[in-house]
Amino acid sequence: MDPADIPGLPEGVPDFLRESGIEALYPPQAEAVDAGVTEGESLVASVPTASGKTLISELAMLSSVERGGKALYVVPLRALASEKKAEFERWSDFDVEVGISTGNYESSEEWLSSRDIVVATSEKVDSLVRNGAPWIEDLTCVVADEVHLVDDPNRGPTLEVTLAKLRRINPGLQVVALSATVDNADEVADWLDAALVKSDWRPVDLRTGVHYGGAITFDDDSQREVPVGRGERPTAALVDDTLDEDGSSLVFVNSRRNAEAAARRLADVTADHLTDDERAELDDIADEVRDVSDTETSDDLAAVVRKGAAFHHAGLAAEHRSLVEDAFRDRLLKAICATPTLAAGVNTPSRRVIVRDWRRYDGEFGGMKPLETLEVHQMFGRAGRPGLDPYGEAVLLANDHDTMDELFDRYVNADPEPVQSKLAREPAMRTHLLATVSSGFARTREGLLDFLDRTLYATQTADTTRLESVVDSTLEYLVANDFVERDGDEITATSLGHTVSRLYLDPMSAAEIVDGLRDADDPTPLGLYHLVCRTPDMYELYLKSGDRETYTELCYERETELLGRVPSEFEEVRFEEWLSALKTAKLLEDWAREVDEDRLTDRYGVGPGDIRGKVDTAEWLLGAAERLATDLELDCVVAVREAKKRVEYGVRDELLDLAGVRGVGRKRARRLFEAGVESRADLREAEKPAVLGALRGRRKTAERVLENAGRRDPSMDEVDADEETAGANDGDADAAAPSATGDQQASLGDFE
């Protein structure tokens, strides 16, 4: 189909598409247009990765805006939201304004009413509905990216309920759901009252197979010789073979440690295939990687990036992941070793995908469990870059003939599993039933069941007995904790229930926080951190070998600070959960005492991304605790607010004012403080040489900091750094870090 034949688009868009190299639509895209996607018809597109799903969504949104409407693009991950916003901004020449919303769950973000397309995570959209964002009623088109993730036990119920609510608010809403090829896409289409476009077509041929015995055997029974030398690993041989044809590789492994180890080994392979220009560019990228955080992880990642390889996992900081992804797309990095999370994430196609590990540890399973077929197929889909690769290859590894046969049966020749709603799980039901009542979508038990009848769960389940049972037990819990009230048949949210829903808290988290705060006379930061860390909304750190003794001792040593009764050691599960929360709280306390990131990663066995994730979650939960304490008129509001600020900035009390200046942060705040600049007001009056010295002679940084502090003349022209100030904090990092219990201030050294 020629772009000129697409109905309903803004004037000039077909010409723009042609100028962008799209002379004709891909077959699935043409099918979507024939099904009415640019004329307001709902659609489920179940097609492989790289087959043009994003353009289908853009056609739907542009045509909706052209008709005077407003579009919402829902994604599963924050990183994907940023990527999509940048992608959609290409339509700005057609007066289409794009906005993004991913954080601050207690906000209606009214400014988004002026945007034509809004990109947001499903959790953010859910919170916008709960907070009554008025522009939600103006939506005419909603795109749900990666809709097969309704199968995910954690994120799936939110996406499912959010789509049901949006359709309830806007009865004529066009829903465009983008999915991987799944076995039951027809059920998803039935749920959304949508047409179905299902296709296996790809713009680049994908060959899938298994490497064993020095060769890849493909699904068409053809073979490619990839011999493995003595002492060589199959993964290295496969990456080297790909590089011989100027291709890149994605290697999927089952753990962070394995990703890092594999990247170190493959760096010696990729280094031999770099040009001098590539080495120079990678050196610059490696320097940027190193500057992201003061951790061993930054050093390790920078070291392999210089050689053309990288690792990618959730323990990395967001800046790390972005640098790696961009360099891989630019073909500077030749191989990435990743955990499976990358398969469902951002756009990182490659010539060859190598699934080295097809099992991973599962605690509930009790050992190493095979990956789902759909997950492996998502990895396969990363192979083959349109316009860059003549084909894509996806390869599993086997070390014997029986395993080779199993991999063909389980993954290569198998269809992906059907997606199944996880809405009936109690944690999901707690949150979404309260939100449904609080938002006024239902006011009776029958009304709740009627609303839930609009979900995928109801579409897939003929027997309503289990759903009714879960609804009844959940309502009992909400009533018992004063979140909802029942008066005959009528169910209403209490003031507390409304607040909990708007704060986007799991009601069980809210109950834990409220109980703890009511017992708190003068809570310490550790006590408050431990309180929020033992809620369901915080993923706790695992207790490793030797941790139980360490944190049991700490528990009794600081028992008076902990809010709530310490479980008996004979209550083994509860006591271990208590200690896991204490370990997580201790990390937060160390962070707020200005302990260096490299010491934290070493002490707690985490990556910089984990630290940032725990800090962000704690900041949100402490903010919610502050709001709850205020509404309940408890005496601990100030203590909670200060604990929140300290964890937000990662500083001791005396640095809170300085660290709050945009561009300062925890390390610069400490250096400024030790140079005698102790507050925002001091920044407006301080001698410029002293400020420049404390900021290590970085003129642009100093000017930006002074401007943000409100200084009338922030210019650093012709200002020389005070050398005495500049050299005042060059001590050893480990020696300089504040002690776990001491009150003295310490230099943190220069870690920029």
> pLDDT tens, 211-223?
999 999 999 999 9
What's the token pair of residue 133? 């964002």
Across 123-132, 269-278, 575-584, least confident range: 123-132
Give residue 463's pLDDT band: very low, low, confident or very high (50, 70, 90).
confident
Asked if the model's pLDDT at residue 485 lies above 90, the reply is yes
Give yes or no for a contact between 360 and 173, defined as CB atoms under 8 angstroms apart.
no
Give residue 30's pLDDT band: very low, low, confident or very high (50, 70, 90).
very high
Cα–Cα–Cα angle for 453, 42, 341, nearest 5°?
80
In angstroms, the CA 218 to CA 241 distance is 16
Listed in sequence order, the residues at least 6 apart from 409 whose beta carbon sits closer than 8 Å to its beta carbon are none
What's the token pair of residue 26? 């891909």
pLDDT at 291: 87
Q: Cα 566 from chain centroid?
A: 33
Asked if the model's pLDDT at residue 57 lies above 60, the reply is yes
Residue in 390, 422, 371, 346 with CA at minimum distance from that of residue 202: 390
Residue-wise pLDDT tens digits, 607-632: 998 999 999 999 999 999 999 999 99
Give yes or no for a contact between 291 and 348, defined as CB atoms under 8 angstroms apart.
no
In angstroms, the CA 649 to CA 591 distance is 9
Reported pTM? 0.88
Listed in sequence order, the residues at least 6 apart from 347 whose beta carbon sits closer than 8 Å to its beta carbon are 83, 329
Asked if the model's pLDDT at residue 752 lies above 60, the reply is no
Residue-wise pLDDT tens digits, 673-723: 999 999 999 999 999 999 999 998 888 889 999 999 999 999 999 888 877
Give yes or no for a contact between 383 and 350, defined as CB atoms under 8 angstroms apart.
yes
Give residue 734's pLDDT band: very low, low, confident or very high (50, 70, 90).
very low
What's the token pair of residue 699? 């003129």
Average of per-residue pLDDT across 723-736: 50
Q: Are strands 223-225 and 215-218 parallel, antiparallel or unpaired?
A: antiparallel
| Amino acid occupying residue 42 | S
Partnered with residue 176 across adjacent β-strands are 43, 143
Q: Which residue has the higher pLDDT, 331 or 463?
A: 331
Listed in sequence order, the residues at least 6 apart from 353 whose beta carbon sits closer than 8 Å to its beta carbon are 249, 250, 251, 252, 379, 380, 382, 383, 392, 393, 394, 395
In angstroms, the CA 633 to CA 639 distance is 13
Asked if the model's pLDDT at residue 742 lies above 60, the reply is no
| Amino acid occupying residue 743 | D
pLDDT at 730: 46
pLDDT at 346: 57
What's the token pair of residue 379? 């990895």
Asked if the model's pLDDT at residue 736 lies above 60, the reply is no
pLDDT at 121: 93
Q: Note the residue count of the chain.
A: 752
Asked if the model's pLDDT at residue 726 lies above 90, the reply is no
In angstroms, the CA 67 to CA 9 distance is 9
Most confident of 169-178, 313-322, 742-751: 169-178
Residue in 314, 309, 411, 417 with CA at minimum distance from that of residue 357: 411
In angstroms, the CA 302 to CA 283 distance is 8
Residue in 160, 162, 152 with CA at minimum distance from that of residue 127: 162
Asked if the model's pLDDT at residue 732 lies above 60, the reply is no
pLDDT at 429: 92
Average of per-residue pLDDT across 512-539: 94
Query: What ranges make up the beta strands (E) of 466-607?
Result: 484-487, 490-493
Asked if the model's pLDDT at residue 735 lies above 70, the reply is no
Mean pLDDT of the residues in the chain = 91
Query: What ranges make up the beta strands (E) of 149-219?
Result: 174-179, 195-198, 206-212, 215-218
Give yes or no for a contact between 351 and 384, defined as CB atoms under 8 angstroms apart.
yes
pLDDT at 44: 98
Asked if the model's pLDDT at residue 744 lies above 50, the reply is no
Average of per-residue pLDDT across 438-447: 94
| Amino acid occupying residue 243 | L
In angstroms, the CA 201 to CA 30 distance is 12
Residue 692: how many other CB atoms lie within 10 Å? 24
In angstroms, the CA 314 to CA 318 distance is 9
Average of per-residue pLDDT across 419-431: 90
Residue with token string 């995928």: 456
Average of per-residue pLDDT across 507-519: 95
Asked if the model's pLDDT at residue 445 lies above 70, the reply is yes
pLDDT at 741: 36
Average of per-residue pLDDT across 648-652: 95
Residue-wise pLDDT tens digits, 199-213: 999 999 999 999 999
pLDDT at 427: 85
Q: Which residue has the higher pLDDT, 140 or 693?
A: 140
Q: Cα 332 from chain centroid?
A: 25
Partnered with residue 336 across adjacent β-strands are 250, 310
Residue in 467, 394, 393, 395 with CA at minimum distance from that of residue 432: 467
Give yes or no for a contact between 567 and 575, defined as CB atoms under 8 angstroms apart.
yes
In angstroms, the CA 285 to CA 287 distance is 5
pLDDT at 727: 60
Give residue 180's pLDDT band: very low, low, confident or very high (50, 70, 90).
confident
Average of per-residue pLDDT across 104-127: 86
Asked if the model's pLDDT at residue 273 lies above 80, the reply is yes
